[in-house]
Structure 1
């Protein structure tokens, strides 16, 4: 079986089933932490990125989607719509990890930037539809207001708004997820090894 096909395989075992709620819990805690300290970050994708690194793009996508559905039911109804962006984050994380982008710190930083770009490209149209282009983050929205006042295109202004927060957020989130991944015992991470014949979600 090719390396590309192995990428989309999923081991349907206890570890995989436990990974998703664990990732959602990490996201939830990160978001509450960022809001409590009023950080210029969201920190609500650490678990999704971690799930993508450990379990691959399918488990990463499922973690992100379920995460946003729970957000939508408990914190903000609009969060459910952004599940599309979280799916993108999970898929991108799994693909990048599969191709060796979590082996060194500099690669993890590039990993975070790429994930931020994916997230922003998906989120900007949603921001435009639901919030007139703004993100709801005071730091990013300040840039949006400045650009808007200088007659910069609203989509470009929205992208700048989003990426200004998304880039540092996803880099920090990727580094945290990577640090957790590195300290996990090999006997645990091998449970997610999709290079062997197993149940698939094709």
Structure 2
């Protein structure tokens, strides 16, 4: 039986990328239906990060990179800091409408966190779309359509309704909430609980 997994994330959040690695492994071992939902750590239209915050992030980055390598086996090569992720969220809704939302979202995360690309640029998003078999020749015009921005806002509103204050946040079977970039074993345990609620979790 397939289990739904709804994940609220922001593409520029390192822990959202790390959780994608755990979920990718879960997809390989279990029957899940993964859906990505928009969440903006810096809401659309926010001013650029100031120098003090940039310095804070710069100081924290080496520890995050080391942790990603040690615990998740990935070599981080981060894209530009402080970019607007709204276009990437819109593009995910566009890809989702064509049945490729999951693959596209993972391609965007990889582009930013493994390839150091600027995912606020249409050409980068187009390349991600093409990598999962989508025709991105008119992507810029498509993303200008109001329905995709409205879909992003719906995700954000639903996160507020569910009282999700941070990301990543993964909801299994519309019932079990897992917060943070948990390792594969945690997700596998929650998935088993979703499949058999009578079974005690580890």
TM-score, structure 1 as length reference:
0.28
Higher fraction of strand: 2
Higher fraction of helix: 1
TM-score, structure 2 as length reference:
0.28
